[in-house]
């Protein structure tokens, strides 16, 4: 079994299909040949029977006209014979090849004719005059109250020879036709699979640095055409993922290098000028950069787990409580504009409280960073969903940038200081957390003139059902 499996794996699809087609055609042709031989022989034997009926009818006509000669002349004396048996059992008329012979018809046929009192056909392997197969007709006839029996026989050798000739033709034609079908199938399959082979060769040559290449797509809407389109779409996704990964690694390296460089610089300055070093200031600076580095690593780790569709910990979370907590925390951190929470009502969702708090904190931090005079929060539950709105009166976001801001390491103003602009991961984390909780997030123009972030999450009952 294992050997058969290995052998079949080594055979190309073209050859397997061609062999299968040849086998199917061969079996069909063999069965058809057997049926054709049988039908041809039955047809020829039927013709012999018709000939025997005609000849027996001619002899019967002569007998009834009382003009039956003792010696009958037949055209095919070498392959046929006639004998007429009188009421006494003696032969009263016969063809030249059976005139002096006794009754040549086998006894069982004569008995059947005598018993059934009607015409009887039979096939005999041989007759005394010829060592070959004959077809025999026995016909009882009453003439003036006297019973006669007419026996006519004709050789089946011509029929057998015709069948043999057909068999010889089939023996030559069936293999040739089978080979032709196999060759034609091979060519058709080869032509049909040539685009697949072209796709395979192209894919085999594509490396990680050549994802911009595409497989040849035939201009037709069939399985192979759709396969090529699917392969090209997959290559486009791989190319996009590779480019995104490269940008992500480059941006992450840059962001990680900055706090490390700052820490090193402070330590090197203290080492170079120990007399002017301020250990407490250095400790505060190193601690600040370390916390910044830790937060950046946490952000990268959270985004790296983007394949997780749902949060690891799911529990009922009061989103309004998280809002109030983050507002208080922002006030303690020295928020420079007031935060309006008058439109915050109850709203409960199912998810990870820590991740949801991170999402709220990032949105609030982003709004406070760019607000001019105020930030407004709104929360309400409606239609099975909890809707959170964070709006500011800052410069707003251009329409063409409203999707790009959710990408990692995106800063719309490259000249903005990193201390003000952050690492460009906050909104990417917001979208990641919202998607993990089965929600949506988008940004639009705020009635105050700035940006308005709208988050919709399934309410607790709907989230539990999902």
| CA neighbours closer than 13 Å in the CB half-sphere of residue 368 | 20
Fold of 68-157: Beta-Lactamase (3.30.450)
- Which pLDDT tens digit goes with each residue over 401-425? 888 888 877 766 543 334 444 567 7
What ranges make up the beta strands (E) of 3-109? Answer: 71-72, 80-85, 91-95
First to last CA, the chain: 47
**Which pair of structure tokens corresponds to residue 262?**
């700052």
Task: In the chain, list all ranges with CATH 1.10.287.130.
Answer: 223-303
Q: Residue 27: helix, strand or coil by DSSP? A: helix
Going by C-alpha positions, the residue among 322, 452, 455 that lies closest to residue 399 is 452
Assigned architecture for domain 309-465:
2-Layer Sandwich (3.30)
Task: In the chain, list all ranges with CATH 3.30.450.20.
Answer: 68-157
Q: How far is CA 208 from the centre of its chain?
A: 27
Q: What are phi and psi of 204, to 5 degrees?
A: -65, -30
Please name every residue paired with 315 in a beta bridge, in sequence order, or none if there are none: 351
Between 42 and 282, residue with greater pLDDT: 42
| CATH 3.30.70.100 for the 223-303 domain, yes or no | no
Task: In the chain, list all ranges with CATH 3.30.565.10.
Answer: 309-465
- Which pLDDT tens digit goes with each residue over 103-160? 777 777 777 777 777 888 888 887 776 778 889 998 999 888 888 989 999 989 999 9
Going by C-alpha positions, the residue among 407, 404, 457, 402 that lies closest to residue 434 is 457
Whether pTM exceeds 0.85:
no
Which range (11-15, 186-190, 228-232, 297-301) has the least confidence?
Answer: 297-301
Q: Residue 386: helix, strand or coil by DSSP? A: strand
Instruction: Report whether 389 contacts 378 (CB < 8 A).
Output: yes
Going by C-alpha positions, the residue among 314, 315, 266, 313 that lies closest to residue 286 is 266
- Which pLDDT tens digit goes with each residue over 341-393? 999 998 999 998 888 988 898 899 889 988 989 999 999 998 889 999 999 99
């Amino acid at each position: 079994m294992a050997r058969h499996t290995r052998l079949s794996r080594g055979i190309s699809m073209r050859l397997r299909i061609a062999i299968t087609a040849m086998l199917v055609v061969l079996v069909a042709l063999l069965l058809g040949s057997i049926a054709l031989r049988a039908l041809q022989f039955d047809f020829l034997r039927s013709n012999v029977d018709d000939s025997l009926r005609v000849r027996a009818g001619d002899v019967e006509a002569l007998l009834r006209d009382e003009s039956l000669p003792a010696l009958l002349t037949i055209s095919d004396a070498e392959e046929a014979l006639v004998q007429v048996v009188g009421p006494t059992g003696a032969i009263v008329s016969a063809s030249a090849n059976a005139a002096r012979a006794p009754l040549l018809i086998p006894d069982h046929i004569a008995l059947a004719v005598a018993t059934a009192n009607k015409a009887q056909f039979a096939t005999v392997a041989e007759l005394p005059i010829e060592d070959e197969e004959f077809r025999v007709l026995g016909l009882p006839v009453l003439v003036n109250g006297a019973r006669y029996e007419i026996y006519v026989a004709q050789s089946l050798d011509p029929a057998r020879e015709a069948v043999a000739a057909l068999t010889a033709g089939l023996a030559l034609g069936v293999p040739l036709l089978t080979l032709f079908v196999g060759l034609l199938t091979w060519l058709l399959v080869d032509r049909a699979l040539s685009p697949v082979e072209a796709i395979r060769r192209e894919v085999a040559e594509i490396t990680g640095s050549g994802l911009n290449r595409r497989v040849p797509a035939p201009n037709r809407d069939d399985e192979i055409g759709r396969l090529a389109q699917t392969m090209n779409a997959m290559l486009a996704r791989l190319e996009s993922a590779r480019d995104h990964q490269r940008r992500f690694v480059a941006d992450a390296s840059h962001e990680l290098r900055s706090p490390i460089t700052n820490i090193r610089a402070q330590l090197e300055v203290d080492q170079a000028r120990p007399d002017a070093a301020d250990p407490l200031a250095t400790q505060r600076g190193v601690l600040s950069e370390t916390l910044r580095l830790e937060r950046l690593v946490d952000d990268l780790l959270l985004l790296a787990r983007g394949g997780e569709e749902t949060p690891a910990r799911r529990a009922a979370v009061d989103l309004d409580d998280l809002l109030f907590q983050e507002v208080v925390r922002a006030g303690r951190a020295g928020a420079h504009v007031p935060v309006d929470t008058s439109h915050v009502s109850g709203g409960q969702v199912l998810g990870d409280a820590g991740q949801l708090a991170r999402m709220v904190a990032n949105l609030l931090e982003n709004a406070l960073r760019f607000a001019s005079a105020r930030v407004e929060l709104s929360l309400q539950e409606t239609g099975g969903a909890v809707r959170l709105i964070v709006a500011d009166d800052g410069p707003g976001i251009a329409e063409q940038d409203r999707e790009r801001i959710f990408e990692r390491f995106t800063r719309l103003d490259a000249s903005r200081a990193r201390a003000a602009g952050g690492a460009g991961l906050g909104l990417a984390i917001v979208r990641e957390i919202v998607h993990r909780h089965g929600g949506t997030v988008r940004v639009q123009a705020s009635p105050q003139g700035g940006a308005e972030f709208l988050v919709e999450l399934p309410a607790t009952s709907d989230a539990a059902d999902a």
